[in-house]
């Protein structure tokens, strides 16, 4: 028997619904972008007009109906124009991480088949030398963000403002199916090449509704929201959709990412909500401490938020840090640390310990822990640890064009590669990760790539690279090296050998010479043993 169906309208959840809402109801709300010449002021109304013209620019450039449009840019109003102008015309926004190395950048542009890349002038020198390796890119549109870098005299190079001034505004509404892809973001938080996560209009809208809700970031019409988390990494944690959806004013730091500049911007612009990785808040603490400000929530995630950092904010800035957990694969916000009513009367030490957890899944996401490699669920007793798996309408089902990469279990849960415990209410406590990676300042370093590079040295018998805690960066790589019998090697020689092979921020902070890399019963490197052996390793900076 057919079930009785509801009689409600079936209106698709597409990004142009957010665009239209903010255009119609919040046009007078300010948008501010910082720059070398000071803040540039605008409104959602002006932004909406430019965003519609951007649709016209994409037509002028001949970008295909579902063409991929790359962005290589800081957080700015222009980037927000791309966040809507691209998907609202049916194309797919591909945010390129400016911290990828050259080979990775070429790889993701070619894998995503980007037809055009919009690039901030300040970061043009990172992209332009690679342009001939990017086989599908036909145009590079330069957005002049006050950088002084020379713009190449090349027919492929176009100027954003010139194109926008000449373009006709377009009507949105071409996307009818909410499951159409809206944007893609590659993650290097896996082994091997970066993998593409392909967000749909529906998943983007649903995620933003969770982010905007009180247990999420809780953003409303009275807020001034400043995403410090980059718009080139993990969809800026949904803030580019959540703030416009709520009619909140937006403040963008542009390329002015120095701690002092960020703190001054927060104070001067009356920012009430902001979000970024722990390294950002660590650096900003001395610049915010004791100052008058309007902040009422600071979102933080991407790496564990140390209790000491959150407590220092509570004591010196007047509010603790709100911790969220998630992944590029979960849009990314999946859980958050709003404390339940049962803790209202708890003492500050208990609350600090609770805030150091990764929080409870936001409505829409389910979480479980299992014995790794199985679907056997473990108890929620805060003792048992197992692989964290999640499920929900904004969790990825698979990677873009990566056959053979298993992201989802046979019973439909997404494998996170994080090891966690859950307490009796399902609050997540991340304990470890199975991914052989190091997260430094919110970006990934592949220990396997570093090990292979070190082991290419003729005097090295074997090498393992592990994360050691660091107060500024969260984690930093430590190289544990076994020298071949009869050979000698110094730390300086290992680092000199690595320098031409890896990005400078990947260079291990130190090299420890050990007799043997500990092995598991099946002969694999036991990183766990090395991590606990060096858990107290003195931080370099």
What is the distance between the alpha carbons of residues 44 and 50, in angstroms, rounded to a whole number? 10
Q: Which of 234, 265, 395, 511 binds ligand AMP (CB under 6 A)?
A: 234
Q: By the 8 A CB rule, do 385 and 356 touch?
A: no
Question: Nearest CA to 265 among 75, 99, 83?
Answer: 75
Known catalytic residue at 281: no
Report the residue number, 431 or 459, with the smaller CB distance to ligand AMP: 431
Residues 6+ apart with CB under 8 A from 48: 19, 22, 23, 27
Report the residue number, 223 or 418, with the smaller CB distance to ligand AMP: 418
What is the distance between the alpha carbons of residues 489 and 493, in angstroms, rounded to a whole number? 6
Angle at alpha carbon of residue 354, lines to 350 and 355, rounded to 5°: 115
Task: Encode burial over 63-96: b for 16+ CB neighbours within 10 A, e otherwise.
Answer: beeebbbbbbbbbbbbbbbbbbbbbbbbbbbbbb
173 C-beta neighbours (distance < 10 Å), count: 14
Q: By the 8 A CB rule, do 31 and 43 touch?
A: yes
Q: Which residue is nearest to ligand AMP (CB)?
A: 328
Check 17, 71, 180, 187 and give the catalytic one.
Answer: 187
* Residue 416 contacts ligand AMP per CB under 6 A: yes
Length of the chain: 541
* Residue 306 contacts ligand AMP per CB under 6 A: no
Report the residue number, 327 or 530, with the smaller CB distance to ligand AMP: 327
Q: Which residues pair with 468 in a beta bridge?
A: 476
For ligand AMP, what does the binding mask look like between residues 387 and 406, x meaning CB under 6 A?
A: --------------------
Residue 153's alpha-carbon distances to 140, 156, 157, 447, in angstroms, are 12, 9, 7, 40
* Residue 207 contacts ligand AMP per CB under 6 A: no
Q: Which of 272, 328, 440, 446 binds ligand AMP (CB under 6 A)?
A: 328
Q: Which residues pair with 361 in a beta bridge?
A: 335
Beta strands in 68-223 (DSSP E): 68-72, 92-95, 114-120, 139-143, 157-159, 181-187, 195-200
346 C-beta neighbours (distance < 10 Å), count: 13
Known catalytic residue at 329: yes
Report the residue number, 101 or 513, with the smaller CB distance to ligand AMP: 101
Report the residue number, 84 or 322, with the smaller CB distance to ligand AMP: 322
Binding span for ligand AMP by CB under 6 A among 84-92, 104-112, 414-422, 506-514? 414-422
* Residue 325 contacts ligand AMP per CB under 6 A: yes
3-state helix, strand, coil in the chain (%, to 5): 30, 25, 45
Report the residue number, 187 or 282, with the smaller CB distance to ligand AMP: 187
Per the rule left: phi > 0, alpha: psi between -120 and 50, beta: everything else, 144 is beta
Strands of 114-120's sheet, edge to edge?
157-159, 139-143, 114-120, 68-72, 92-95, 181-187, 195-200
Q: Which of 247, 253, 301, 320 binds ligand AMP (CB under 6 A)?
A: 301
* Residue 302 contacts ligand AMP per CB under 6 A: yes
* Residue 474 contacts ligand AMP per CB under 6 A: no
Known catalytic residue at 187: yes
For ligand AMP, what does the binding mask look like between residues 339 and 378, x meaning CB under 6 A?
A: -------------------x--------------------
Task: Tell me the HSE value of 119 on the side-chain side, using a 13 A CA sphere.
Answer: 26
Report the residue number, 170 or 229, with the smaller CB distance to ligand AMP: 229
For ligand AMP, what does the binding mask look like between residues 427 and 456, x meaning CB under 6 A?
A: ---x--x-----x-----------------
Distance in Å, CB of 233 to ligand AMP, minimum: 7
Distance in Å, CB of 58 to ligand AMP, minimum: 28
Report the residue number, 392 or 417, with the smaller CB distance to ligand AMP: 417
Q: By the 8 A CB rule, do 286 and 314 touch?
A: no
Distance in Å, CB of 7 to ligand AMP, minimum: 41
Check 329, 387, 451, 475 and give the catalytic one.
Answer: 329
State the angle between helix axes of 44-60 and 77-85 in degrees (0 to 180), rounded to the nearest 10.
60
The size of the interface with ligand AMP (CB under 6 A), counted in residues, is: 20
Distance in Å, CB of 413 to ligand AMP, minimum: 14
Distance in Å, CB of 370 to ligand AMP, minimum: 16
Check 195, 351, 439, 527 and give the catalytic one.
Answer: 439
Q: Which of 235, 303, 385, 427 binds ligand AMP (CB under 6 A)?
A: 303
Q: Which of 16, 311, 387, 418 binds ligand AMP (CB under 6 A)?
A: 418
- Runs of H (alpha helix) within 62-219: 77-85, 102-112, 124-127, 160-166, 201-212
* Residue 187 contacts ligand AMP per CB under 6 A: yes
Report the residue number, 53 or 439, with the smaller CB distance to ligand AMP: 439
Instruction: List residues binding ligand AMP (CB under 6 A).
Output: 187, 189, 234, 301-304, 323, 325-328, 332, 358, 416-418, 430, 433, 439
Positions annotated as catalytic residues are: 187, 329, 439, 444
């Amino acid at each position: 028997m057919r079930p009785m169906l509801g009689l409600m309208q079936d209106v698709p959840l597409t990004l142009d619904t957010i665009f239209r809402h903010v255009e119609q109801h919040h046009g007078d709300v300010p948008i501010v972008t910082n720059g070398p010449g000071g803040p540039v002021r605008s409104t959602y109304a002006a932004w909406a007009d430019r965003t519609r013209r951007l649709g016209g620019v994409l037509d002028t450039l001949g970008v295909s109906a579902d063409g991929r449009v790359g962005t290589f840019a800081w957080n700015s109003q222009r980037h927000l124009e791309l966040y809507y102008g691209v998907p609202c015309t049916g194309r797919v926004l591909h945010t390129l991480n400016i911290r990828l190395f050259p080979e990775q950048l070429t790889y993701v542009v070619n894998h995503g088949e980007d037809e055009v890349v919009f690039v901030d002038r300040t970061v043009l020198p990172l992209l332009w030398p690679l342009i001939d390796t990017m086989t599908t890119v036909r145009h590079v549109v330069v957005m002049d963000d006050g950088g002084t870098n020379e713009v190449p005299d090349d027919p492929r190079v176009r100027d954003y403002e010139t194109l926008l001034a000449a373009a006709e505004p377009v009507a949105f509404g071409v996307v009818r199916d909410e499951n159409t892809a809206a944007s893609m973001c590659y993650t290097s938080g896996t082994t091997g090449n970066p993998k593409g996560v392909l967000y749909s209009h529906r998943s983007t809208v649903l995620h933003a509704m969770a982010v905007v809700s009180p247990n999420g970031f809780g953003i409303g019409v009275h807020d001034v929201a400043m995403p410090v988390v980059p718009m080139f990494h993990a969809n800026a944690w949904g803030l580019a959709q959540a703030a416009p959806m709520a009619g909140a004013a937006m403040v963008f730091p542009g390329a002015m990412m120095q701690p002092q500049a960020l703190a001054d911007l927060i104070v001067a612009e009356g920012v009430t909500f902001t979000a970024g990785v722990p390294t950002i808040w660590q650096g900003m603490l001395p610049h915010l401490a004791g100052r008058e400000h309007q902040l009422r929530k600071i979102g933080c995630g991407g790496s564990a938020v140390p209790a000491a950092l959150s407590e220092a904010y509570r004591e010196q800035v007047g509010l603790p840090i709100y911790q969220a957990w998630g992944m590029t694969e979960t849009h990314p916000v999946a859980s958050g640390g709003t404390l339940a009513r049962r803790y209202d009367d708890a003492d500050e030490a208990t609350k600090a310990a609770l805030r150091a957890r990764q929080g409870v899944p936001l409505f829409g996401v389910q979480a479980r822990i299992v014995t790794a490699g199985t679907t056997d669920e473990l108890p929620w007793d805060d003792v048992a640890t197992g692989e964290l798996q999640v499920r929900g309408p904004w969790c990825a089902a698979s990677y873009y064009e990566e056959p053979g990469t298993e992201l989802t279990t046979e019973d439909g849960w997404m494998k996170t590669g994080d090891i966690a415990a859950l307490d009796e209410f399902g609050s997540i406590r991340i304990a470890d990760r199975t991914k052989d990676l190091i997260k430094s300042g919110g970006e990934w370093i592949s220990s396997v790539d570093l090990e292979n590079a070190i082991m290419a040295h003729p005097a090295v018998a074997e090498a393992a690279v592990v994360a050691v805690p660091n107060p500024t960066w969260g984690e930093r790589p430590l190289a544990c090296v076994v020298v071949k019998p009869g050979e000698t090697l110094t730390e300086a020689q290992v680092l000199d050998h690595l320098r031409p092979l890896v990005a400078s921020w990947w260079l291990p902070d130190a090299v420890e010479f050990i007799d043997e890399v500990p092995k598991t019963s099946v002969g694999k490197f036991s990183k766990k043993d090395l991590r606990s052996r060096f858990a107290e390793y003195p931080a370099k900076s």
